[in-house]
Structures are given as structure tokens and as C-alpha cells.
Chains A and B, each alone.
Chain A
Amino acid sequence: MKIDKDVITRVAVLARIDLTDDEKMEFSEQLSGIIGYVEKINELDTEKIIPSDHIGGVKNVLRNDTVGSTIGEGVLERMAPEFENGHIVVPRIIEGS
């Protein structure tokens, strides 16, 4: 399948990545090559095959609900790009005063 510039543009929106026109052209060409190659999997007869999203043996793991220490506000403040009065600051997301 050819991954044209429109597909790249649409996928980039989903991935929340801005791409320049040059990057879109480059990715379109490279991803078309990669997808063309990975389509080799269509040769596999998988009609009766169960998909493996893991190697198996994975089960829910529960832990006791005990009180423990957590990451302190000071640490969060040092990690956050912008921090004020105990809150991480982000651009306004609701219009109004």
C-alpha cells in the first residue's frame, strides 16, 4: 500500500505530531517502502491462529491496599515545566474570564 501525503497528514494529527511538508514527503516515501515490505505477513495463513499480544502467562496482579509514601509536591514542582501554588500550569482550555 502506498502511504501518501494525505495519509501521513491524517495519522500525524492522531499522533499529535506536527510535520513539515518536507517531513511528510520523506515519511510518505519511507513508510510506503516499510509498509510494502511488512505486507509480507499477508503470505502467512493465519485463519485459525490466535493473536499473541503477549508471550502468555500474563494475569492480573493485585497488591494489598496499604499506605505508603508518594512523590512529594516539591519533587513534582521540580519535574513540572510550569508549577504554581501546588498546581501544574497548562494553557487555558476553557474560554471565558
Chain B
Amino acid sequence: MPEQNILNYSLSELSDMLENKGISAVEISSAYLGMFRNHGGKINCYITVNEDMVIADARKSDERRSAGNALSRYDGIPIAVKDNICTQGVRTTCASRILENFIPPYDATSYAKLKAAGFILFGKTNMDEFAMGSSTENSYFGVVKNPYNTGKVPGGSSGGSAAAVSARMAPAALGSDTGGSIRQPAAFCGVTGIKPTYGRVSRYGLVAFASSLDQIGSFGKNVADAALLLSAVSGYDEKDSTSVDREIDFAPEHITGDIKGMKIGIPDEYFIGCSGEITAKIGEKVELLRKGGADIRKISLKYIDYAVPVYYLIATAEASSNLARYDGVRYGYRSPGVSGIDTLYNRTRSEGFGKEVKRRIILGTFSLSSGYYDAYYLKALKGRTLIIEDFVNAFREVDAIITPTTTATAFGIGEMSGNPLQMYMSDILTISANLAGIPGISVPIGLDSSGMPMGLQIMGNHFNERAILNVGSAVEKICDPVKPEM
């Protein structure tokens, strides 16, 4: 079996090959390890890959299947996991110095589900520290490069997961999305990325950034792979009090790409400030969907201009509270040689956190502090209500909403690092879905004139992942596949 072919197989093709004995789990993992050895250093998409463990796990999978004991038809397929998802016995750093050597004593539920189905942990992917960023430049373990152009960012914060799938260093990956951290890097790296409805995937074992917004989701080379991986990690979990018990009705066999009669909304507000090429390409695809039988309607989502302000007040407030636990006492980094408990806390945090994390903790602490709480944090919570209502009204009219994922394709490394506000603005089209708790997906629709991938975002109503995956599949069918030259 030529290695190149293995790298291009979808998850269901890999599963078929494994089940029909045409290929072994060791061969699949070896092919991906080969890519990692050749290109891993250049792209820097992984923080941890334990090659011996990957091969040992693949061998065990092959033995299970030979004995007729495969854990599922996907037993033996390697998956990359973002480094803020706890993996028992494998260090989970959140790309932070403060957790540089943290080895979780338990598995996140999402990863435990993968393990139970026989998926193999290929590696832990690089990210913005504590998922705070839109470019994966804020990592203690170095910047991640875009596989299409190593002078450009992969997006973030799940930039490592997106780049790994794009560069064929993993068949699929888990990421997390608090304000666009799956969809924006998926768009920048030419892969499919989906953030499900809030509550769909357990957050148990996901290192918390902003708990009311965080969701785990998936990256795939195509829509079916993203759907498959998402359905594998979805489901009720008593360990997450915000977990929701709903039928999982979006496994690949339910995704037909049939959009006949489906009502799809196009909000003009989401195209303001968008690059001409992206606007034109999305217009072209929407027209094809109309010809394919979709009922395309203009809608209005009038609060988009308030999404970034509302988001950065709420997310940083929640982060300042969530990150209080890193104090150098029980686990993680501790500043050496200090006397006095206050000095221990302050030095540990000052030395352990990177600049963007500190900036957000300070911002969040400010908006929660006495005298500012009502004007900033409380006002933002009310703004969030208006954004939620905007979507509730929209979904009375339509089944799905199509927008660009980003206003522009990937920017240059270092281009925005001195200007945090400009960086925050790059999430403008993805943030509202997190505030409203609705699912969103980004599907690649081709390359712009500079050769960088463009993404189309589809948002759906709560627990209607099936609708957005169906539209995503329909879009995929009318687009040429993209792949970076490696």
C-alpha cells in the first residue's frame, strides 16, 4: 500500500481497509509518523508525539482485530487531540509554561470515548496558550505555521489541530472552540471544522477557558470525517453539569447533502468588510445551492457589531476566574525558591503565564471588579441576550445560515501580534455562534489568488448539527478539494 494513498483516505475508507484486512493499524500510524518526521518540525503543529506509544497502541489494535475483538470498526485509526484535552498519562500543557509538565491523572470524556472505540492517540496538538488567541502564535512551544504558506499563521486557537489535518499529519483531530477556535483555523488551513451546540460534547477534562462558551469539536479532511469524529465524542455525560442528553442524529450515514427545500438565510451584515474574493466565491456557491433546490433568503443579524465587545468582556471575565486555580500549589509550575505564600502565587503566575493570558486575566479581573461590574460585565451579559434573541428570530425563518468564516484569508506571522484588538476582530464572524450556543461549521471552498484557503461558515439552530452538516456536504460537492503542497 503506497503511503501517499493512506494519507488521503477518509476515516470511513481507513475503517473499510482495516476491516477488510487490506491494511494494518501499524501501517496507518507509520504513514502518519512518516509525515510527522518529515514535516512536523517545520509546521510545529504538535507539542507531544510519542512515536513508540503510537506504534505500540497500533500493534495492540491489530491484535484485537485479528482476534475478532476490535472495539469498533474504527479501532486502530490515529487521531490528533488538542493539548487542552486531558489524556491520562500523556502530558497536557495547554501550550503554557504553567502546565509544561502536567500529566493528567484522568481522561477527558471526549477522549475516553475515542479510546473506548479503539481510536489511537497520535499526538497532542499545539495551540494558543489556554486557547487564547486567533493565530497559534501565543504558544510557549513556538508558533505554528500554515501548511499552505509557512510565512502565514494557521489561525487559532486550535491551529495545531487544523494544520495537522491539513498537512496530512493526522487523518482527523479534536479541537475546542470558544469564539471560533475550530472554524477560523479550519478556514485558514483548508479543512472542515465543526463546533457543535453547547452541551453536545462533554467538557469534562477540557481545560476551562470560558466555561459558558467552550465546546469541543472536530476537524476532518472532509465533512463526513468531521461528522464522524464529532458523533464519536458527543453524548450526555453526568460529569459535566451542562451536558445535554439529545439523540446523536448526524453520523455520516445521516448526512446526504440533500438541501432541496431547505431554507438558508444569508445575513448581509456578515459580508461587511469581507474580502472581495471571499464574498464573490460564497455568492457563487450560494447561487449553486439555489439551483440545487435550496430556498435562499436574505436575513438580518443586526447585533454582529456588538459580538466582539460582548464576547471579550464575558470570555475574559470567565477566564480570570477559571485561571485562578493556577497558583503553584497542587500541580503545574511553581516558581522556585520563594518564601511566603503570596509571593509564591504572584511569582508562579507571572512566570508561568504568557503575555496574552496575562492581558486577558487583567481585562477580565477589571470588568468583574467593584465599580466596573455593572458597566462592563453585566452590560455584556445583557448584550448576549440580544445576540441570542437575534438567532432565535432568525431560526424561526430559516434552517441554516451561510456566512464567510473569516473576512480574509490567513494573515502573516507577526502581522497582528502587537495589536491585540485587531487580532480580536479577526473572530468577528465566528464569535456569535458561541455566545448563542449554536452549532457552526467551516467548509473549504477553494483558494484565493494568493493560494490561501477560503472558508464558508454554516450556522444552525441548537442541536441541529444535522442541518449544517447537510448544507456543508452540499457545499463540498460543488467545490474542488484543496490540499497543500508538502
Measuring CB to CB, which residues of chain A are less than 8 angstroms from any residue of chain B?
A: 3, 7-8, 11-12, 14-19, 23, 27, 30-31, 33-35, 37-44, 46, 49-58, 60-61, 63, 71, 75-76, 78-82, 88, 90-93
Q: What are the 3 A-B residue pairs with the smallest beta carbon separation, nearest first?
A: A55-B437, A51-B381, A81-B334
Quick check: is B350 within 8 A (CB to CB) of the other chain?
Answer: yes
Quick check: is B241 within 8 A (CB to CB) of the other chain?
Answer: yes
- Distance of A51 Cα from B400 Cα, bound (Å): 26
- Distance of A17 Cα from B323 Cα, bound (Å): 11
Quick check: is B102 within 8 A (CB to CB) of the other chain?
Answer: yes
Q: Which of A8, A33, A50, A81 is B382 in contact with, Cβ under 8 Å?
A: A50
CB pair A40–B306 under 8 Å, yes or no, is yes
Which of B328, B333, B421 lies at the interface centre, i.e. has the most chain A CB atoms within 10 A of its CB? B421
B:378-415 near A, CB below 8 Å: 378-386, 388
Q: Quick one: closest B residue to A28, CB to CB? A: B362
CB pair A38–B365 under 8 Å, yes or no, is no
Q: Which secondary structure dominates where chain B touches chain A?
A: helix
Measuring CB to CB, which residues of chain B are less than 8 angstroms from any residue of chain A?
A: 102-103, 105-106, 198-199, 212, 238, 241-242, 244, 305-306, 308-310, 312-313, 320, 324, 327-334, 338-347, 349-350, 353, 355, 358-359, 361-363, 365-366, 369, 376, 378-386, 388, 420-421, 424, 436-437, 462
Q: Which secondary structure dominates where chain A touches chain B?
A: loop
Q: Quick one: closest A residue to B346, CB to CB? A: A18
Q: Which of B238, B350, B366 is A18 in contact with, Cβ under 8 Å?
A: B350
Least distance between A12 CB and chain B CB atoms (Å): 6
CB pair B421–A37 under 8 Å, yes or no, is yes
CB pair A16–B346 under 8 Å, yes or no, is yes
Please name 9 further chain A to chain B contacts, defined as beta carbons within 8 Å, in addition to the given A18-B347, A51-B385, A79-B105, sorted by A numbering.
A17-B349, A27-B358, A27-B359, A38-B380, A44-B383, A46-B386, A49-B385, A50-B385, A82-B334
Q: Quick one: closest A residue to B420, CB to CB? A: A30
- Cross-chain pairs A/B with CB under 8 angstroms, 21 sampled: A11-B362, A16-B342, A18-B347, A18-B349, A18-B350, A19-B358, A31-B362, A41-B379, A44-B379, A46-B383, A50-B385, A51-B385, A55-B388, A57-B244, A61-B241, A79-B102, A79-B105, A88-B329, A88-B330, A91-B340, A91-B343
Q: Which of A39, A41, A49, A79 is B331 in contact with, Cβ under 8 Å?
A: A79
- Distance of A88 Cα from B331 Cα, bound (Å): 10
Interfacial chain A residues near B359, Cβ < 8 Å = 27, 30-31
Interfacial chain A residues near B345, Cβ < 8 Å = 16
CB pair A79–B330 under 8 Å, yes or no, is yes
CB pair B331–A80 under 8 Å, yes or no, is yes
Interfacial chain B residues near A53, Cβ < 8 Å = 212, 381
- Distance of A79 Cα from B328 Cα, bound (Å): 11
| Known pairs A44-B306, A61-B238; A38 contacts B312 (CB<8 A) | yes
CB pair A51–B421 under 8 Å, yes or no, is no
- Distance of A58 Cα from B211 Cα, bound (Å): 13
CB pair A58–B362 under 8 Å, yes or no, is no
- Distance of A61 Cα from B313 Cα, bound (Å): 28
CB pair B361–A15 under 8 Å, yes or no, is yes
CB pair A31–B363 under 8 Å, yes or no, is yes
CB pair B358–A34 under 8 Å, yes or no, is no
Q: Which of A19, A63, A78 is B350 in contact with, Cβ under 8 Å?
A: A19
CB pair B105–A31 under 8 Å, yes or no, is no
Least distance between A1 CB and chain B CB atoms (Å): 9
| Known pairs A15-B365, A31-B366, A40-B305; A90 contacts B382 (CB<8 A) | no
CB pair B379–A34 under 8 Å, yes or no, is no
Interfacial chain B residues near A60, Cβ < 8 Å = 241
Q: Quick one: closest A residue to B365, CB to CB? A: A15
| Known pairs A38-B376, A78-B103; A46 contacts B382 (CB<8 A) | yes
